[in-house]
Chain A
Amino acid sequence: MNNEVNIENVTVKYNSFKVLDNISFNLISPFFVVIMGPNGAGKTTLLKTLLGLVKPTQGNINIYGYNPERNISEIRKITGYVPQIVNINTYVPITVEEVVSMGYLSKTKPPRILSKRVKNKVKEVLEIVNLPGVENKMFTELSGGQRQRILIARALIKNPKLLLLDEPFSMLDFKIKCEITALLYKLFRELDIDILMVAHELSPCIPYQPQVIILNKKIYAIGKADEVLKTDILSQAYPGVTSLPGGIIIGEDHA
């Protein structure tokens, strides 16, 4: 296992429609990266391609020495995924313990039983995400920020090296977005977990100086926020970007 995430000339097509067009980048661990781009830019597809859920039409992917197509079981061991919260079906009556434990139980064969050992692991990760004692609550009883923490805990229970998050800020107010970012930064600094997240809003992350990737099917820029958040770059990546005297508006949120 090496310490690089390397994407080389990756193209992904859905039918004949190009979602990612010959993208390349290289991230050296430890990294704390935010992927930004307009809706339909291929951000979620990029995460799914890294996870091996979407096969690239062409190109090579290397995640710490493993290829998602050839080494899917290793990829699943070393990655944790936090999907968009809007895709969660809140109609399902499920407890926090059941949600988080699945991160661990997915490694076993059915029947997947909640043993004392698994329950203790759930308690441990709930403490890491600052939500001790909620394991018997229903997922739907929690607030938006707490639900996001639970999904992060589910990813953490596998002890991942790389955490991939798809819009962890959606439908949260700014204070909670900052709390979630602080938690992610804590995981990055204290547990050595590399962070790669998709976000529409960068401001909650600014204090932590993340690397930013500007994506809209192609990569438009990679660098620190002050290097990439420039009008000329953003106006290329975001069609219809609005220029104002005090700056520009590129914001859009999935809510």
Chain B
Amino acid sequence: MLEIIALIYLLALLSGILVGSISLPLVMSRNIMFSLTLLHSILGGAILGVFINTMYNLNIPIPLFATFTAIFFSILAAELVEKGFPEDTATAFSVAAATTITIVFSFYASSISSTALAEAWSYVMGASSLATLEDLTKIIVVLIITIPIVHLFWREFKYIAFDPEGAEALGLNVRFYRYLFYSIVAFVSAVLSSTVGVLVAHVILAAPGAFALKIYKKKPVILSYIISTLLMLTGYILARILNIPPSGGVGLTSTILILSMVILREHD
């Protein structure tokens, strides 16, 4: 029993670190709308995965479908922006396409299997309160890939968020770095979604970075890590106390954090 509890909190801790690594650059680049694309495309990808697995009797991991769909739609949105479309138009287009996939394949999946929709729904709400070694392995692998990339290109991500036009004139490959960042965020979001659920992953992606920038602009990186880790741990503890899924607990703590930001803004 103790081992299971330790596993759950270790998963929460590592998920927190993972969120902390991408939250700040995501907020800095003012791409909160972009996470809307992610939310819909992860969901669309998950349902597409459920459909393909059911249809062809396969056992391909659903996060794999979700990751590739999220990367595809994120890059599609980014490419539309590069082609001169306004960001909200590009996001709206990607969201519409991803939502269409969700609706169409939900329909087809439910018509061939009675459990398909329930499986997809678990992706929306998050896994049960039991953490598995498989979850932990997934998070560790994503951490090992993500954190070095984010910090290796930290200066570039920051600089492109600060002044994309100037960065391009200086010779930085803005498109490459933008796509790289979007792909990392899509990858992280898809894996997080498989543990805490799409909806909560969507909420917690931005909250730590935004709060870190709000309270101390000089050291936001370390602060983003601390806030996201605390957010996840307290969310999991809260979930245990209230006997709800971890996604519910994390959702509650994220909401409290967002409300604190609103109050802080009113005091400014």
Residues of A within 8 A of B (CB): 14, 51, 53, 72-73, 76, 79, 81-84, 87-89, 91-94, 98-99, 102-103, 105-107, 110-112, 138-140, 151, 154
Contact = CB atoms under 8 A, between A and B. Distances in A.
19 contacts: A51-B169, A73-B171, A76-B169, A76-B171, A83-B163, A87-B163, A87-B165, A88-B162, A88-B166, A91-B30, A91-B161, A92-B28, A92-B161, A93-B213, A93-B218, A93-B220, A98-B155, A111-B155, A139-B162
B218 A102 contact: no
Interface string B178-203: 00000000000000000000000000
A102 B157 CA distance: 12
Contacts of B29: 89
B166 A81 contact: yes
A53 B168 contact: yes
Interface residues of B, number: 27
Interface string B23-55: 000011110000000000000000000000000
Given A89-B30, A93-B213, 5 more contacts: A89-B29, A89-B163, A91-B30, A102-B159, A138-B218
A140 B217 CA distance: 10
Given A81-B169, A83-B169, A102-B167, A91 B153 contact: no
A110 B220 CA distance: 22
A72 B168 CA distance: 12
B138 interface: no
Contacts of B155: 98, 102, 105, 110-112
Contacts of A76: 169-171
Interface string B223-266: 00000000000000000000000000000000000000000000
Interface string B83-111: 01000000000000000000000000000
B28 A91 contact: yes
Chain A to chain B: the 9 pairs with minimum beta-carbon distance, closest first: A106-B170, A81-B169, A93-B217, A92-B162, A83-B165, A76-B171, A83-B166, A92-B28, A92-B161
Interface in B145-174: 152-153, 155-156, 158-159, 161-172
B83 to A, nearest CB: 10
Interface of B: 27-30, 84, 152-153, 155-156, 158-159, 161-172, 213, 217-218, 220
A110 B163 contact: no
A218 B61 CA distance: 59
A110 B152 contact: yes
A11 B164 CA distance: 25
B84 A14 contact: yes
Nearest to B154: A111
A64 to B, nearest CB: 17
Contacts, number: 78
A110 B153 contact: yes
Given A14-B84, A98-B155, A138-B218, A103 B170 contact: yes
Contacts of B213: 91, 93
B14 to A, nearest CB: 24
Nearest to A138: B217
Given A88-B163, A112-B156, A102 B217 contact: no
A139 B218 CA distance: 11
A77 to B, nearest CB: 9
Contacts of A84: 165
A84 to B, nearest CB: 8
Nearest to B27: A91
Contacts of A103: 170
Contacts of A91: 27-28, 30, 161, 213
A53 B163 contact: no
Contacts of B168: 53
Nearest to A82: B166
A103 B172 CA distance: 10
Nearest to B168: A53
A8 B158 CA distance: 38
A188 B158 CA distance: 31
A176 to B, nearest CB: 20
Contacts of B156: 110, 112
A82 B84 CA distance: 22
A53 B218 contact: no
Pick the most buried of A53, A84, A92, A103: most chain B CB atoms within 10 A of its CB: A92
Contact of B162 (A53, A82, A89, A107): A89
A88 B220 CA distance: 19
B168 to A, nearest CB: 6
A98 B116 CA distance: 51
B151 to A, nearest CB: 8
A93 B217 CA distance: 6
Contacts of B84: 14
A107 B159 contact: no
